[in-house]
């Protein structure tokens, strides 16, 4: 029996003429990234932690906009504000706080959406031990 392998991400990274600035790209996109100020980067463009948080936010936006939406119904509007909080001392990532504004759901549905996200998001499950995530849902009304 042969195991099949699928390439699910294919990126290329390169340095630029600006010290501490990098370009990361894939088919159809390019991201400019800076190293952290702590490691000699400029800290002006998205850093590695920003990109990590962005991947978790992207997964949540995708899940919350369409999960449990009846066929033929419009997808939900979702807005997420994410921040990392950590004590100044220490060398750990901290805790990710995700303020999730989800249109057209009640408290129960918002909690179910978060639970489903936690079960299904591979990135969340790979990181949850080293980057705790606190979800703060802000539902905006009864389900449609």
Mean pLDDT of 27-50: 92
64-107 pLDDT, tens per residue? 998 778 788 888 999 999 999 998 887 788 999 999 999 989 99
E strand map for the chain: 12-15, 21-26, 29-34, 78-85, 95-102, 133-139
Given this model, what pLDDT does residue 136 score?
A: 96
- pTM for the structure as a whole: 0.87
Token pair for 125: 């499950």
Tell me how many degrees the CA angle 15-21-24 measures, rounded to the nearest 5.
60
10-27 pLDDT, tens per residue? 999 999 999 999 999 999
Given this model, what pLDDT does residue 69 score?
A: 80
Is the predicted pLDDT of residue 2 greater than 80, yes or no?
A: no
Given this model, what pLDDT does residue 7 score?
A: 87
Contact between 32 and 18 under an 8 Å Cβ cutoff? The reply is no
Given this model, what pLDDT does residue 39 score?
A: 86
Is the predicted pLDDT of residue 111 greater than 80, yes or no?
A: yes
Mean pLDDT of 46-63: 94
Mean pLDDT of 35-42: 88
114-135 pLDDT, tens per residue? 999 999 999 999 999 999 999 9
Is the predicted pLDDT of residue 144 greater than 70, yes or no?
A: no
Is the predicted pLDDT of residue 1 greater than 80, yes or no?
A: no
């Amino acid at each position: 029996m042969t195991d099949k392998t699928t390439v699910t991400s294919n990126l290329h990274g390169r340095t630029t003429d600006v010290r501490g600035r990098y370009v990361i790209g894939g088919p159809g996109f390019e991201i400019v990234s800076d190293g952290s100020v702590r490691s000699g980067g400029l800290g002006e463009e998205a850093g590695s932690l920003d990109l990590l948080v962005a991947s978790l936010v992207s997964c949540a936006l995708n899940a919350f906009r369409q999960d449990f939406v009846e066929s033929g119904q419009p997808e939900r509007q979702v807005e997420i504000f994410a921040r990392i909080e950590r004590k100044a001392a220490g060398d750990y990532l901290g805790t990710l706080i995700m303020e999730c504004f989800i249109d057209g759901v009640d408290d129960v549905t918002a909690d179910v959406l978060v639970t489903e996200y936690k079960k299904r998001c591979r990135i969340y499950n790979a990181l949850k031990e080293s980057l705790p995530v606190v979800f703060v849902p802000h539902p905006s009304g009864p389900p449609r």
